[in-house]
Structure 1
Amino acid sequence: MATKQALAEIKRDLDAYIGKRVKLKSFKGRNRVVEREGVLERTYPSIFVIKLDEKKVERRISFSYTDVLTESVELTVCREDGEIKIAAARN
């Protein structure tokens, strides 16, 4: 069950990477996986927004912190010294 503390921890982790390039892997069910890249644009109390790298149209996509906690979304921050996977804290 999602606790407020775990969700707050995920938000705090993401706050540190606002403006950074991220890789997004979203599991849509029935073996459908969507992979995209973009920039972590903003975090809000319940959701975070990623600006996608699209050629024709500027597009944004949002997810809740619960999506990260339940592992229906995987986020990886791209840095010069390597990649960092954002994951829910396990107790």
Structure 2
Amino acid sequence: MATRQTLDGIKSNVMECLGKKVILRTNKGKRKVKVREGIIENVFPCIFTVRVDQGTEAERTISFSYSDILTESVEVTVVGTSGVIQVS
């Protein structure tokens, strides 16, 4: 069972990656997986935001909650490392 310390650990892991380029792998259900690349822009108490470049000069900001990482509906990998932000 997830505790408050687990979510705080995930939040601190995301804070360490603030401003870094990441690869997002989101699970949309029924074998639908979307992979995007972006930069972690902001870290808030309940969510964090990622700026995603969609090509053709279009940028989009997507928000995720820390429980998305906990439930593994989103996987965040820092570019240039083999480390994945996950449950600590």
TM-score clears 0.5:
yes
CA distance in 1, matches of 2:27, 2:2: 19
Counting only pairs closer than 5 Å after superposition, residues 17-36 of structure 1 correspond to structure 2 as 17-36=17-36
Residue correspondences, number: 87
CA distance in 2, matches of 1:2, 1:42: 24
Structure 1 unaligned spans of 5+: none
Q: Is the 8 A contact 1:2 1:66 kept in 2?
A: no
Specify the SS of the correspondent of 1:88.
coil
Specify the SS of the correspondent of 2:11.
helix
CA distance in 1, matches of 2:86, 2:17: 14
1:10 and 2:10 correspond: yes
Q: Is the 8 A contact 1:49 1:60 kept in 2?
A: yes
Match for residue 40 of structure 2? Answer: 40
Output the amino acid matched with 1:76. Answer: T
Match for residue 71 of structure 2? Answer: 70
What TM-score, normalized by structure 1, do the two folds share?
Answer: 0.89
RMSD: 1.0
Q: Which runs of 4+ in 1 moved over 6 A?
A: none
Match for residue 59 of structure 1? Answer: 60
Q: Percent identity?
A: 45
